[in-house]
Amino acid sequence: MGSPLTRSRHDRGLSTEIGYSSRLTGRKRRQFARLRRQHNRANVASKAERNQIYAFTEIRRVVSSLSMTYSVRDQACVLFDSAQSENLIRGRSLEGFAAAAIYAVCRTNGVARTVPEIVAVARADANELRAAYAAMNRELGLPTGPIDAREYIPRFATDLDVPRAVERRATELAAEASETGATGGRKPSGVAAACLYAAARDHAFTLTQKEAADAAGVTPVTVRNAFYDLE
């Protein structure tokens, strides 16, 4: 019956592939290598299709590197396809749009992943990701609201190796800030870092603003300002 259909491939996985065999040697191996190249070229009808193959491969690689779900992978590929259909990618970075599609899907689904985390494994830099994300948000109207700061706290707490009591207190502070609007407009990852810093102070655990900022991928100034809002 073959492999299941998937949105993470340009042809949804319908095309055939010429595989590899360790039993082939010499002339036969070279012959099959030529056949494989010709077959791959025949499967790609246009430059747009080549771009999509490249971008989908990049999306699969980044999603796998970050241990994210197949759902995020497939949604990111669909979003990239939509951006390409609207001619948003012409003259812009394919890698930037691949990374931005993943980031946008994370924002849409409330998956707490920061721009620095994604660009750390992507082939795009932060500026390329943000430019592509802005274009998709503007032209496609992405339903991406702010992520709750509490979503970031468990991962940041693990990275910083803080005690469970500090993590619990940070979660309480983030909940209070959300209810009161004390940190409204602040970057959620920065608020999470500030909550961990404040909670560490409450429990006399040594944690600097810079350490909290580094875990969140923000600047110490961002953590400091969010901390003042919490105070």
In angstroms, the CA 157 to CA 199 distance is 11
Beta carbons within 10 angstroms of residue 110's beta carbon: 12
pLDDT reported for residue 11: 47
In this predicted structure, what is the pLDDT of residue 14?
47
Reported as half-sphere exposure (CB side, CA atoms, 13 A), residue 146 has a value of 14
> Residue 187: what pLDDT?
86
> Is the distance from CB of 97 to CB of 123 less than 8 angstroms?
no
Q: Beta-carbon neighbour count of residue 101 at 10 Å? A: 30
139 within 8 A of 120, measured Cβ to Cβ: no
Domains and CATH numbers, the chain: 1-145 (1.10.472.10), 149-230 (1.10.472.10)
pLDDT tens digit at each of 231 positions of the chain: 444 555 545 445 545 655 555 566 666 667 766 766 665 555 556 788 889 999 999 999 999 999 999 999 999 999 999 999 999 998 889 999 999 999 999 988 888 899 999 999 999 999 999 999 999 988 988 876 667 889 899 999 999 999 999 999 999 999 998 888 887 778 889 999 999 999 999 999 999 999 999 999 899 999 999 999 998
Q: Which residue has the tokens 């983030």?
A: 174
pTM: 0.67
